[in-house]
Chain A
Amino acid sequence: MLLDSNYVKFRDKVRDFALQVIAPQASEIDETGEFRRQTIKEMGEFGLLGIPFPKKHGGAGLDNLSYAIAVEEVSRVCGSTGVTMAAHTSLGCQPIYAHGTEIQRKRYLPSLLRGEKLGSFGLTEPNAGSDAAATETTARSIGDGWVINGTKRFITSGGIADTLVITASQDRSKGVHGISAFIIEKGTIGFTAAKEEQKLGLRGSVTSELLFEDCRIPEQNLLGKQYEGFKIFMETLDGGRISIAAMALGIAQGALDSSLIYAQNRMQFGKPIRKFQLVQRLIADMHTEIAAARHLTYHAAILKDRGENVTKEAAMAKLYASEMCMRAASHAVQIHGSRGLTREYPVERFFRDAKLTEIGEGTSQIMRIVIAREVLGR
């Protein structure tokens, strides 16, 4: 048994919630692309939006393993809700918790961790994807604050978030060492969410372009120290990658769940298709690879809970789980045949959702480079 009984109890509780509250709307929000604030509110009330944070800040007082388990269970029925939850927790809240001053923590965390407000993280730009050092957004110091100018792209929940952590360069000649992190509140003059991306999958989540035009923010919105933005986002992404691994795990498990039922019920050549070895092969591969990915993901989460550096473990978990997820989703569509291409079953949605896990928060190629660097040294 991989998990002790406390975790199993927690997992079962989240599973019930996911089945009752999130699953019934998963297909519909994918179809309409509609974001439902109400779901976030209910998740917050249930304690799902501040899992690995202390109770004194409004969190659930649990650990990163519990958080990974919860992201997995939510994503198992709805990848869109899974990614919204993961981005909020790992990317929106975590850097404020880890690097915020007591005043910043008090100001932002309670409402975020209870799900009354939604968090987001703005790192990626049109010309700075894998290469975050190419950040073109600038922060100019003006006496009592900062003026931000630039464009962010592919920001999960960017347009609907109440509190955003963004990166901007104070000195572009310094590359990554010129970048600082700032907290931006929704409604700040000069900050607008421009277009919402129309995406292949995760269509029930919001992905936005953010525009900063002479956006003035007060001095106290600097997060961490000046020029520490790079360190902050690298550390933030380490945690985020564990949550994307958990999300991939959930999507793959959801794809397997549907495949097991279908293979049992679908009759061809006079027997259920689960009796055919080529179908058994797909099921066996999915099941084994999911188990392997689960070990990697939980391992990374446990190390993080021990306070260890998880750069390599998080990258390994994300790399393996996301590529496994894409294979599992493709196998699931294959098992469902033509029906797998319709909305009658969730597997075509999982197939579209799966692909993002190989791209977001560092592509598989970047994961390989990170792992190699950790193994080989710089």
Chain B
Amino acid sequence: MVQDMVRKFATNELEPKAQEADVSQQCPEENIKKMAELGLLGMTIPTDYEGTQMDSTSVCIVIEEISKACASTASILIAHTALASYPICKYGDKEQRARYLPGMARGDVLGAFALNETEAGSDIQSIQSVAILQGEDYILQGKKSFIMNGENADLYIVFARENSDLSCFIVERSAGVLVEKIRYLMGMRASGVSEITMSNCRVPRTNRIQSEGREIARDTLDFAKLLIGAQAVGIAQISLDNALRYSKERHQFGRPICRFQLVQEMLAEMATKISAARGLVYHAASQRNSSHDFSVEAAMAKWFASETASFAAKTAVQIYGGYGYTMDFPVQRYMRDAKVTEIYGETSEIQKIAITERLLQ
């Protein structure tokens, strides 16, 4: 039911604007507004806080469907729901939840996750942003880079060093927060990826989330990885849908190209890999639903699905031939967007290491 509703919305509302969003590197405001109206912005937030909390499987379905229409919009949704709303729900205290979650569920307040820094990409130990307690406020200094949805966000989940520990803060966009959109990105161009500079940024003491920062980051990223896996499945599926349709319409040598074995091989490999990727994603989601540890499952799902997305999108461009290389068809965008899923929310290499580290335990 969720799937039908979201699919209809994505096809009618998001898809027609996706190309322009890609070219202008700007997500249409109505996309976000309409997702709010449908309750999608609150899908990780409990009903007590005006949310529409769904189980992980449903959240994955939503992300997959949105990604088929506009992967950039899906990235914004992942940033808001998994990376920003979720850690407040799970680790925030009562006041923090009451203060921020209803607005986030309604979409009045958009969130983003500010962990990554120039010198701390895969290696979060190297985070250099610092938080110093001064009376009732923390003073935050530092620069965060490649922050998904940074452009549109009203609040940031910021990680900074406090003495030797990593602490996590809810930081409202304010005078001490400078947001600079990254001028050019190859893929996910409309997802508002930005650099965030905090200079003498004053945050009330009460905005520090009490749990250990490293644990919040790990758990939140696990959830995000699962959703990036779902996003990658969506990109892969729409690549296949397009390639399949085109291979039936395009005639060469007197027949539709879907009748040639080399094209059939490509379609068969796409379909099989997508099916396997979807299996991994929804298996990880069901693990999470039943409150099992799902980090390894999420890592496997993210790695395999993102590689599948890149494979499927490249193959779709190949099936379209010269046409696929032009901006007249969306398959080239799927290819650029897919590559991003292999990198953001931690790279494929980091997933592989995480999988093996667990095997070795």
Interface residues of A (CB under 8 A from B): 31, 124, 127, 129-131, 133-134, 153-154, 197-201, 267-270, 276, 278-279, 326, 330, 333-334, 337-338, 340-343, 348, 351-352, 355-356, 358-360, 363-365, 368-369
Contacts and interface: CB of A to CB of B under 8 A. Distances in A.
B310 A330 contact: yes
A173 to B, nearest CB: 14
A88 to B, nearest CB: 19
B325 A334 contact: no
Given A131-B252, A268-B121, A348-B186, A340 B325 contact: no
Nearest to A267: B119
A124 B343 CA distance: 37
B166 to A, nearest CB: 15
Contacts, number: 116
Given A268-B121, A268-B122, A338-B116, A352 B186 contact: yes
A162 to B, nearest CB: 23
Nearest to A126: B323
Q: Interface size bucket, B side?
A: 35 or more
B314 interface: yes
Given A198-B328, A359-B322, A268 B145 contact: no
Residue picked from A326, A358, A368, most chain B C-beta under 10 Å: A358
Given A200-B327, A369-B262, A129 B252 contact: yes
Contacts of A364: 318
B332 interface: yes
B278 to A, nearest CB: 22
A240 to B, nearest CB: 15
The residue among A127, A130, A200, A359 with the most chain B CB atoms within 10 A of its own CB is A200
B347 interface: yes
Nearest to B186: A348
B327 A198 contact: yes
Interface of B: 116, 119-123, 125-126, 145-146, 182-187, 251-254, 260, 262-263, 310, 314, 317-318, 321-322, 324-328, 332, 335-336, 339-340, 342-344, 347-349, 352-353
A200 B185 contact: no
Contacts of A127: 251
Contacts of A270: 123, 126
B222 to A, nearest CB: 19
Given A129-B252, A198-B328, A199-B332, 20 more contacts: A130-B252, A130-B253, A130-B321, A153-B322, A197-B328, A199-B327, A267-B119, A268-B126, A269-B123, A330-B310, A334-B342, A337-B121, A337-B343, A338-B116, A341-B340, A341-B343, A343-B183, A351-B339, A355-B335, A365-B318
Contacts of B186: 333, 341-342, 348, 351-352
Contacts of A340: 343
B126 A334 contact: no
B215 to A, nearest CB: 19
